[in-house]
């Protein structure tokens, strides 16, 4: 479903005078808004192909209707999001849920919609139909070399799909680990995994990056073979310069200091990318910024500090992706909210007075350091984010327009009420 430029124009026209008034108020207190707005325009967040349908839990799934039935419709949905917010110009594909059977056609369709292919994701956490050997007891770590070889081969196929589409990175998340003490020899599991990763790394195209994602627990509940950033960093360091750690916000033990992890990974030149989501307890897959917006701001604060200190490009030097899919919301509305939350946190972090903060730190003025951060966090940057969208020919209020146009009903009309998108 396409949104016509005139629908966006009419929507913006109605809201324009109120928007301009708010923007003027903001601009009076926030310096350098043009530079900041340009950074917001440039910043793009990749949408995962598995977040376009309603997610589920092991207890149940309640589809919203009108879910995309194939990869073409998933690309259509992302194009729809991007025409509203102009910040979702990339898709992150999951194989085998979204195998591009006709890559030339898929690439042409995406290009036509202004969508590029971000990181490819492999899947050795499920057994697929017709699969010879089972991943029940792990994949790249498996005690049986034949299983490891099968998982390696799958990752090489994912790279080849990605090459056809113009992707430049592979994300490996492993569910490998153990559920009970004694089940696994930790050292051997690590070494098997490393050896397997080495074989994948050896076949990685020269301009590609390998992202190693970690997770503290689930589906294994005693040990995870890539369980935290230390283990991921060990693998990345041993593999070489094209291997990086990927941080998924929901993959930490409760109350982990993620902003400190980010800062140190950037220092080591080993932070590769991000999976945004939010959570209260674990890997809850909730909308970005819905539970802990201050933590999200603090993470962006460290990202900007670390990237700027190394002269990195905010837009292109790290992989920015959402990884969430939940049970009760319209998935497209959820993604609009998530992207907006990311932009707000990014804009707030750009407001931090870095030289004042550095000075406060240098004289141990703890109170002032806190004031500087919280002053930025408590600034209402929403008019700036809206202005960035307006300048990029998106909608001033994407979610409101999504609802005004009855997009979900239209999707249900054209795709049916009982469609279920591939994914978890």
Q: How far is the CB of 29 from Mn ion (least distance, A)?
A: 37
d(CA 140, CA 212): 13
d(CA 35, CA 21): 20
Q: How far is the CB of 215 from Mn ion (least distance, A)?
A: 8
Cβ-based nearer residue to Mn ion, 76 or 248: 248
Piece of the chain touching Mn ion by CB under 5 A; list 111-119, 156-164, 243-251, 359-367:
243-251
Cβ-based nearer residue to Mn ion, 232 or 348: 232
> Which positions ≥6 away from 76 have C-beta within 8 Å?
1, 68, 113
Of the candidates 242, 252, 255, which has an alpha carbon nearest to the alpha carbon of residue 119?
242
387 binds Mn ion (CB under 5 A): no
**67, 76, 283, 323: residue in contact with Mn ion (rule CB under 5 A):** 323
Of the candidates 247, 240, 248, 340, which has an alpha carbon nearest to the alpha carbon of residue 289?
340
- What b/e sequence results for 211-223 when a residue is b if at least 16 CB atoms lie within 10 Å of its CB, and e otherwise? bbbbbebeebeeb
Q: How far is the CB of 78 from Mn ion (least distance, A)?
A: 18
Query: Length of the chain, please?
Result: 424
The DSSP H or E segment spanning 303 is: helix 293-309
Q: How far is the CB of 278 from Mn ion (least distance, A)?
A: 13
What are the tokens at 125? Answer: 């956490």
Cβ-based nearer residue to Mn ion, 147 or 246: 246
Piece of the chain touching Mn ion by CB under 5 A; list 7-15, 19-27, 248-256, 283-291:
248-256
Cβ-based nearer residue to Mn ion, 184 or 324: 324
275 binds Mn ion (CB under 5 A): yes
Helix (H, G, I), strand (E, B) or coil at 187: helix
d(CA 33, CA 301): 18
Q: How far is the CB of 73 from Mn ion (least distance, A)?
A: 23
Neighbours of 32 (CB within 10 A): 11
Cβ-based nearer residue to Mn ion, 213 or 387: 213
Cβ-based nearer residue to Mn ion, 66 or 272: 272
285 binds Mn ion (CB under 5 A): no
Q: How far is the CB of 239 from Mn ion (least distance, A)?
A: 19
Cβ-based nearer residue to Mn ion, 318 or 350: 318
What are the tokens at 386? Answer: 């809206």
Piece of the chain touching Mn ion by CB under 5 A; list 19-27, 77-85, 301-309, 316-324:
316-324
Piece of the chain touching Mn ion by CB under 5 A; list 4-12, 103-111, 246-254, 413-421:
246-254
Piece of the chain touching Mn ion by CB under 5 A; list 131-139, 146-154, 319-327, 410-418:
319-327
**98, 248, 285, 387: residue in contact with Mn ion (rule CB under 5 A):** 248
Q: How far is the CB of 55 from Mn ion (least distance, A)?
A: 13
Of the candidates 155, 79, 149, 148, which has an alpha carbon nearest to the alpha carbon of residue 121?
155
Cβ-based nearer residue to Mn ion, 173 or 300: 173
Q: How far is the CB of 249 from Mn ion (least distance, A)?
A: 9
- What b/e sequence results for 107-143 when a residue is b if at least 16 CB atoms lie within 10 Å of its CB, and e otherwise? bebbeebebbbbbbbbbbeeeeeeeeeebebbbbbbe
Residue 15 burial (10 A CB sphere; 0-12, 13-18, 19+): middle
Residues that bind Mn ion in the complex, under the rule CB under 5 A: 248, 275, 323
């Amino acid at each position: 479903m396409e949104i016509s430029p005139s629908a966006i124009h009419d929507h913006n026209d109605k809201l324009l005078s109120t928007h301009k008034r708010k923007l003027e108020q903001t601009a009076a207190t926030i310096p350098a808004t043009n530079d900041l707005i340009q950074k917001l325009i440039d910043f793009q967040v990749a949408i995962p192909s598995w977040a376009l349908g309603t997610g589920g839990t092991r207890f149940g799934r309640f589809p919203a209707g009108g879910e995309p039935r194939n990869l073409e419709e998933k690309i259509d949905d992302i194009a729809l999001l991007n025409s509203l917010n102009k910040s979702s110009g990339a898709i992150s594909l999951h194989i085998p849920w979204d195998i591009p059977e006709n890559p030339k056609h898929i690439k042409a369709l995406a290009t036509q919609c202004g969508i590029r292919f971000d990181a490819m994701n492999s899947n050795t956490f499920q057994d697929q139909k017709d699969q010879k050997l089972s991943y029940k007891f792990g994949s790249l770590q498996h005690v049986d070399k034949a299983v490891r070889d099968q998982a390696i081969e799958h990752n090489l196929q994912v790279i080849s799909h990605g090459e056809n589409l113009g992707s430049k990175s592979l994300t490996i998340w492993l569910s490998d680990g153990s559920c009970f003490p004694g089940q696994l020899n930790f050292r051997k599991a690590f070494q098997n995994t490393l050896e397997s990763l080495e074989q994948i790394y050896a076949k990685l195209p020269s301009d590609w990056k390998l992202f190693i994602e970690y997770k503290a627990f689930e589906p294994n509940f005693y040990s995870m073979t890539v369980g935290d950033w230390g283990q991921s960093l060990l693998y990345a360091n041993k593999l070489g310069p094209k291997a990086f750690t990927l941080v998924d916000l929901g993959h930490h033990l409760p109350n982990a200091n993620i902003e400190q992890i980010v800062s140190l990974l950037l220092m080591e030149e080993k932070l590769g990318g991000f999976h945004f989501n939010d959570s209260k307890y674990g890997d809850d897959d909730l909308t970005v910024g819905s539970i802990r917006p201050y933590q999200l701001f603090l993470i962006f604060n460290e990202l900007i500090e670390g990237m700027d200190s190394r002269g990195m490009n905010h837009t292109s030097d790290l992989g920015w992706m959402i990884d969430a899919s939940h049970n009760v919301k319209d998935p497209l509305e959820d993604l609009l909210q998530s992207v907006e939350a990311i932009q707000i946190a990014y804009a707030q972090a750009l407001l931090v007075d870095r030289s004042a903060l550095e000075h406060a730190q240098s004289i141990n003025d703890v109170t002032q350091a806190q004031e500087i951060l919280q002053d930025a966090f408590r600034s209402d940057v929403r008019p700036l984010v809206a202005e960035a969208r307006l300048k990029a020919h998106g909608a001033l209020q994407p979610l409101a327009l999504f609802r005004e146009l009855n997009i979900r009903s239209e999707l249900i009309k054209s795709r049916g009420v009982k469609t279920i998108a591939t994914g978890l």
